[in-house]
Amino acid sequence: MKIATIEAIPYSIPYVHPLHFASGAVHEADHVLVRITTDDGIVGTADTPPRPYTYGETQRSVVAVVEDLFAPQLVGLDVLDREKVQAVLARTVHNQTAKGAVDIALWDVLGQALGQPVTKLLGGWTDSMRVSHMLGFKPAAELLDLALQFRETYGITTFKLKTGRHPVGLDVEAARVLREGLGEDAELYLDANRGWSANEAMEVLRRTEDLGLQFLEEPDDAREVLGRRRLVERSTIPIAADESAPNLGEAAKEILTGGANLLAVKTARSGFTEAAKIVGMAEGMGVDVYVGNQIDTQVGTIASVVFGAALAHTSKRAGELSNFLDMADDLLAEPVVIAGGRIRVPDVPGVGTAVDEDKLAHYRTDR
């Protein structure tokens, strides 16, 4: 079963509710759909969210690297020769989400060829994931209204609040309003996307000590090593690495050098293969993980669900799986359903990301 063609299809879908955060903003899903077809006609699919402010990729760079660098080296390889595929991807540095999508599309092919859900091939731990919803920058009262709406409509009780604003009191107030409005049972954590200095983050930790926050993600720039290490040492809640740990090597480095004691694992940037290695490494070191999001579409969300539910370690915490709700439309043929605060793994061979061809034709931007 050989790789016959690899397509990288740029498309654009607007957001009804744009998302603002410390490192950027998203108004349109200007993503790339990666499609890999085998010589026996199986089609694997995955979504690529270019994030210039996180990984330096753009929609055009993703198309170029997939079509010009990866495809010529991958076409003709046997889909089962997974290490050879990984070696080809590793030969190009960076380009995290382009690599992630190629890997996921190949797993999708594998699952369909074997007639098995990919979640079973990856581990088969459980059949659904608990959902955490990510709230972007907004006035505190609006954030609470939104969170209450998500709880009422979808049963979501875990929320990640985007922070990293100045003055830091804005975010402290937002966290307090959410805690008071949602009650003590709601799970609440912060993600500053490197918006603060270590000292500012320390102040936020001090001022939110009574709020029962689960953890603080990427408070400051992890490259400022000593500041970050001091934070991790002094914080009473875990400090999570997200964009400072985009791959296996960086994740290991952040944990071993004291830059973090919790890891966000994202399939969009790690595919399933590298994400599984990161989870194994974390598990072996006694470090918790959670499935993070890359402001994913429904295609990307299903990939996260398939991966997260496959493993015991990723199933312990809620995964960030609901930001597609902010989009005007999506590409999946079978829309994702959130009920009782959970998303079920599609019980079909492959990843379960069959695309609505009419929608793809409508939203693609290359024709």
Which residues are known to be catalytic? Answer: 162, 191, 217, 242, 266, 294
CB of 68 to Mg ion, least distance (A): 30
Least CB distance to ligand MUC at residue 12 (A):
16
In whole angstroms, give the CA distance from residue 54 to residue 49.
11
Compute the least distance from the CB of residue 112 to Mg ion, in Å: 32
* Burial status of residue 226 (CB atoms within 10 A of its CB: 0-12, 13-18, 19 or more): exposed
Structure tokens given for 109 = 């092919």
Binding footprint of ligand MUC on the chain (CB under 6 A): 21, 49, 51, 54, 191, 193, 242, 292-295
Smaller CB separation from ligand MUC, 134 or 310 = 134
Is 171 one of the binding residues for Mg ion (CB under 5 A)?
no
Q: Look at residue 129 and give its three-state secondary structure.
A: strand
Out of Mg ion, ligand MUC, none, what residue 227 binds, judged by CB under 5 to 8 A for its kind, is: none
Q: Which does 294 bind (CB under 5 to 8 A by kind): ligand MUC, Mg ion, none?
A: ligand MUC
CB of 175 to Mg ion, least distance (A): 16
Contact 82, 118 (CB under 8 A): no
Rounded to whole angstroms, the Cα distance separating 356 from 273 reads 26
Q: In whole angstroms, what is the distance from residue 290 CA to residue 279 CA?
A: 9
Select 22 or 74, whichever has its Cβ closest to ligand MUC: 22
- Residue 267 partner contact from Mg ion, ligand MUC, none using kind-dependent CB cut-offs of 5 to 8 Å: none
Listed ranges 69-77, 210-218, 227-235, 267-275: which one lies at the site for Mg ion (CB under 5 A): 210-218
CB of 21 to ligand MUC, least distance (A): 5
Measured between alpha carbons, how far is 48 from 65 in angstroms, rounded to an integer?
Answer: 12
User: Which of ligand MUC, Mg ion, none sits in contact with 308, Cβ below 5 to 8 A by type?
Assistant: none
Q: Are the beta carbons of 315 and 129 closer than 8 angstroms?
A: yes
In whole angstroms, how close is the CB of 191 to ligand MUC at the nearest point? 5
Task: Please report, as a single letter, which amino acid is at residue 163.
Answer: T
Which does residue 54 touch among Mg ion, ligand MUC, none (CB within 5 to 8 A, set by kind)? ligand MUC
Burial 290-326, CB ≥16 within 10 A → b, else e = bbbbbbbbbbbbbbbbbbbbbbebbbebbbbbbbbbb
Residue from 57, 187, 242, 296 touching Mg ion (CB under 5 A): that is 242
Q: Name residues whose C-beta falls within 8 Å of residue 234's C-beta, 6 or more positions apart in sequence.
A: 202, 205
In this complex, which beta carbon is closest to ligand MUC, that of residue 49 or of residue 246?
A: 49
DSSP structure class, residue 341: T
Q: Confirm or reject binding of residue 191 to Mg ion (CB under 5 A).
A: yes
Phi, psi of 72 (to 5 degrees): -60, -30
Using the minimum distance from each CB to ligand MUC, give the nearer residue, 44 or 246. Answer: 246
Query: Which residues, listed in sequence order, are joined to residue 32 by a DSSP beta bridge?
Result: 10, 48
At how many degrees (to 10) do helices 267-285 and 298-310 cross?
20
Nearer to ligand MUC, 242 or 274 (CB): 242
Q: Which residues pair with 12 in a beta bridge?
A: 30
CA 185 to chain centre: 25
Query: Which residue, 96 or 112, is less far from ligand MUC as judged by CB?
Result: 96
**Least distance CB 53 / ligand MUC (angstroms):** 7
Q: Is 68 exposed, middle or buried (0-12, 13-18, 19+ CB in 10 A)?
A: exposed
In whole angstroms, what separates CA 346 from the centre of its chain?
A: 18
Q: Which is nearer to ligand MUC, 112 or 314 (CB)?
A: 314
Q: Which does 189 bind (CB under 5 to 8 A by kind): ligand MUC, Mg ion, none?
A: none
Rule CB under 5 A: which residues touch Mg ion? Answer: 191, 217, 242
